[in-house]
């Protein structure tokens, strides 16, 4: 029997990691610290949940199909807020709503690639991007990053072939956390524009960027939508992970192609999630600012507590948004380390091998810590447990 592309794709990393918990009992004095997944564990604020309930009960449209590219009022509001966030002009026809940001990526790749085309992806990559490229029959061309986890446009230039269709950037980065400088993002945009390919910029974590002002100026470039495919998620900003609401901003003609994929896969994004995203944008700006402040404080706590780990040989490679990305000091590969941490230290994290090609030895020295759900005391406890390890 022929092996399918799906069968050849690695298993979902977060689900694989959860299976490591099976049969493990965690004592009261060492409860599990789960830093494996980059998703809020708390529900949306009460006011938003009450609005979702009101909408579900009082609006018949909450339970019906809607437009494939999303509800016009949400597209319009998102276009307006993109314009405010990036100090640019964006119109609703350049925006579409998707069932989560992963679907936005899958839809974009499907619309711009064919079998055996190539997409350049910096390593360490976001594993769901890699998984979709593999399942779509698109070759991932690995672009190694430097010691600060930043990709080099000059190196990317040498990887472009007549089969290249796009370059993918994630900023703030998953898994590395690093915030790509505006000049670097602009350089990649100009490289993609020069070669007539797309630049896909996933800014799922943009609401937790530590910088003030626009993080880049791509939306201000002439004909930006002919090169840029911008991806966004409402999940992290408003704790709507279970409602699956994401977005794409790009050229309307490309959105017409993307519409074919969306109509075939999900028909339309869910009405409850779309309404929640709209209400959140219109009513929760101050609440979201507080969420950002809390994440930035937890990031600061990692910096302050870092000597606990660096004194034991750990090295911080990247930090920002939801993530801290480390090089560990042990003479065992990170996938083995991650498994052993569950029973030995009560810690669930993801190894660098889940974010890197199999033949790249760097992944065996790296781990990702998704710290967004830990307060300062939790980060202290995590670091103390890691510092106490001896393998």
**16 to 13, 108, 286, 330: CA distances (angstroms):** 5, 27, 37, 22
Residue 80 resides in a domain? yes
Strand 366-370: give its sheet, edge to edge: 315-320, 323-327, 366-370, 350-351
268 and 378 assigned to the same domain: no
93 and 184 assigned to the same domain: yes
Domain boundary among 246, 269, 284: 284
Quick count: other Cβ atoms within 10 Å of Cβ 300? 13
Residue 57 resides in a domain? no
The list of the chain residues with pLDDT below 70 reads 1
DSSP 89-145: ---GGGEEEESSHHHHHHHHHHHH--TT-EEEEEESPPHHHHHHHHHTT-EEEEEE-
Strand 118-123: give its sheet, edge to edge: 95-98, 246-249, 228-233, 198-202, 164-170, 118-123, 139-144
118 and 222 assigned to the same domain: yes
Residue located via tokens 């945009």: 189
Residue 1 has what pLDDT? Answer: 64
297 and 251 assigned to the same domain: no
250 and 311 assigned to the same domain: no
192 and 222 assigned to the same domain: yes
Residue 130 resides in a domain? yes
Residue 388 has what pLDDT? Answer: 94
- Digit-coded pLDDT (tens) for 94-116: 999 999 999 999 999 999 999 99
272 and 245 assigned to the same domain: yes
Q: Provide the CATH number for the domain around residue 297.
A: 3.90.1150.10
34 and 93 assigned to the same domain: no
Domain boundary among 284, 310, 325: 284
Q: How many domains does the chain have?
A: 2
Q: Provide the CATH number for the domain around residue 166.
A: 3.40.640.10
Nearest alpha-carbon partner for 123 in 368, 335, 321 = 368
Please, what sign has the CA dihedral across residues 319, 245, 253, 74?
negative
112 and 36 assigned to the same domain: no
E strands, the chain, in order: 33-34, 95-98, 118-123, 139-144, 164-170, 198-202, 228-233, 246-249, 315-320, 323-327, 347-348, 350-351, 366-370
Residue 137 resides in a domain? yes
The pTM of this model reads 0.95
Which residue range(s) make up the domain with 28? 5-43+287-387
Residue 41 has what pLDDT? Answer: 85
Residue 38 has what pLDDT? Answer: 80
């Amino acid at each position: 029997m022929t092996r399918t592309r799906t069968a050849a794709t690695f298993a979902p990393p977060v689900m694989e990691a959860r299976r490591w918990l099976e049969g493990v009992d965690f004592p009261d004095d060492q409860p599990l610290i789960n830093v494996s997944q980059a998703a809020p564990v708390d529900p949306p604020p009460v006011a938003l949940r009450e609005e979702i309930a009101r909408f579900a009960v009082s609006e018949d449209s909450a339970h019906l199909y809607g437009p494939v590219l999303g509800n016009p009022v949400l597209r319009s509001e998102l276009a307006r807020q993109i314009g405010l966030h990036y100090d640019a002009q964006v119109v609703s026809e350049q925006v579409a709503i998707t069932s989560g940001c992963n679907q936005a990526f899958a839809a974009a790749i499907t619309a711009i690639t064919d079998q055996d085309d190539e997409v350049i992806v910096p390593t360490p990559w976001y594993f769901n991007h890699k998984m979709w490229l593999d399942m779509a029959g698109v070759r991932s061309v690995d672009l190694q990053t430097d010691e600060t986890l930043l990709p080099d446009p000059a190196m990317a230039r040498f990887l472009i072939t007549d089969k290249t269709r796009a370059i993918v950037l994630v900023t703030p980065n998953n898994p590395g956390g690093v915030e790509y400088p505006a000049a670097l993002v602009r350089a990649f945009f100009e490289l993609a524009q020069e070669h007539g390919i797309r630049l896909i910029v996933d800014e799922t974590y943009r609401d937790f960027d530590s910088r003030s002002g626009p993080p880049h100026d791509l939306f201000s470039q002439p004909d930006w939508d002919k090169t840029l495919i911008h991806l966004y998620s409402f999940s992290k900003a408003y704790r709507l992970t279970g409602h699956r609401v994401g977005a794409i901003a790009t050229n309307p003609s490309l959105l017409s192609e993307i519409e074919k994929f969306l109509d075939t896969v999900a028909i339309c994004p869910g009405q409850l999630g779309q309404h929640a995203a709209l209400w959140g944008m219109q009513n929760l700006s101050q609440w979201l600012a507080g969420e950002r402040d809390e994440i930035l404080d937890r990031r600061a706590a990692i910096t302050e507590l870092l000597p606990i780990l660096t004194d034991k040989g750990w090295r911080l490679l990247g930090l920002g948004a939801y993530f801290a990305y480390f090089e560990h000091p042990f003479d065992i590969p990170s996938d083995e380390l991650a498994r052993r941490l569950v029973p030995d230290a009560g810690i669930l994290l993801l190894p660098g091998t889940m974010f890197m090609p199999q033949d790249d030895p760097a992944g065996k020295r790296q781990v990702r810590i998704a710290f967004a759900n830990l307060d300062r005391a939790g980060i202290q406890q995590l670091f103390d447990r890691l510092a106490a390890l001896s393998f």
